[in-house]
Structure 1
Amino acid sequence: MRVFAFSLACMAAPLAAADLDCENAMTQLDMNRCAHQAYLLADEDLNLAYKMAKDMARVADEYLEEGQEPAVIILRDAQRAWITFRDKACELESTMFRGGSMAPLIYSSCLERETRARTDSLRFYAEVN
């Protein structure tokens, strides 16, 4: 019986997400879910921009002189550091509403905003080189 109930819940989750109207979200739960979806879309854009930047870094590394650190390594390290920064910065921002139902909205909105800003930076790098 538990397996059946779990299966029904798993099938209903995608349907509930599809029914979510983020243009007219009225409940805090829906607003939280919409903010998280917006972050996920921003993360997809970030991944594309990172790939473009990595491709450009590989091109820059064609002219690497002995002793120079490869651009792909610098990019990777910068991205890892940025992820740590983003997560902590957004965690801090969400403490304004710690324990409240709005905290997930603030956290996800921050993740989206910071991710979009990083995406712009990565695109700039990819297009300038």
Structure 2
Amino acid sequence: MPLTTAALLPAGLFLIALALAAGGARAQETADCSDAVTQVEMTGCAEQDWQNADAELNIAYKAAMAKMQEIDGYLDDNLIGAAETLREAQRAWIPYRDKTCEAYGFLARGGSLESQLVYGCLADLTRQRTGELNDLTGGLGN
């Protein structure tokens, strides 16, 4: 079973994301994200951007995991562990990302900008991690 970030969201952040998604989904249906004006539109677009980044991350994770499994396949039994190491790293990274972004949201705590800040942070850190996973998949030849 693939390890997705949604499956590992802390319960509190998951509930916040779920509540925000209801309003954000409506904004995504009507908002032109190249010209978002209202806070609802900007938040919806920020959420959409994070969802797109998360989808890219999941593709990159699967590719990196396949590379690690390939590496494990040609190593001696006493040297294998690439796939498990990557899995553990991803499991450690997700709470780090989520708590970092939750902290970032405190810059506008209780205000209408809070969720936009959190989604923007989630998208940024997710894209950074996607780059790291793509580098890992590319191996030493990158």
Q: TM-score range by the shorter chain?
A: 0.7 to 0.9
Give, as a single letter, the amino acid of the residue that structure 1 aligns with 2:120: S
Q: TM-score, normalised by structure 1?
A: 0.84
Q: TM-score, normalised by structure 2?
A: 0.77
Residue 26 in structure 1 maps to residue 42 in structure 2: no
Q: CA deviation at 1:17?
A: 2.9
Specify which structure has the bigger relative contact order, considering alpha-carbon pairs within 8 angstroms and separated by 6 or more residues.
1
Q: Partners of 1:94 and 1:112 in 2: how far apart?
A: 13
| 8 Å CA contact retained: 2:28, 2:48 | no
Residue 67 in structure 1 maps to residue 78 in structure 2: yes
Distance 1:16 1:111, change over 3 A: closer
Distance 1:50 1:101, change over 3 A: same
| 8 Å CA contact retained: 2:63, 2:137 | yes
Q: CA deviation at 1:62?
A: 1.3
- Residue 37 of structure 1 is matched in structure 2 by 48
Distance 1:82 1:110, change over 3 A: same
Residue 55 in structure 1 maps to residue 66 in structure 2: yes
Give, as a single letter, the amino acid of the residue that structure 1 aligns with 2:57: L
For structure 1, the residue ranges without an aligned partner over 5 or more in a row are 1-12
Please give the secondary structure, in 1, of the residue aligned with 2:112. coil
Give, as a single letter, the amino acid of the residue that structure 2 aligns with 1:81: A
1:1-129 correspondence to structure 2 within 5 Å: 17-128=28-139
How many equivalent residue pairs? 117
- Give percent identity, aligned residues only: 39
Give, as a single letter, the amino acid of the residue that structure 1 aligns with 2:93: W
Larger radius of gyration: 1
Which stretch of the first structure deviates more once superposed, 94-103 or 15-24?
15-24
CA displacement 1:35-57 (0-9 Å, x = unmatched) = 00000000010000001001100
Q: CA deviation at 1:14?
A: 6.5
For structure 2, the residue ranges without an aligned partner over 5 or more in a row are 1-23
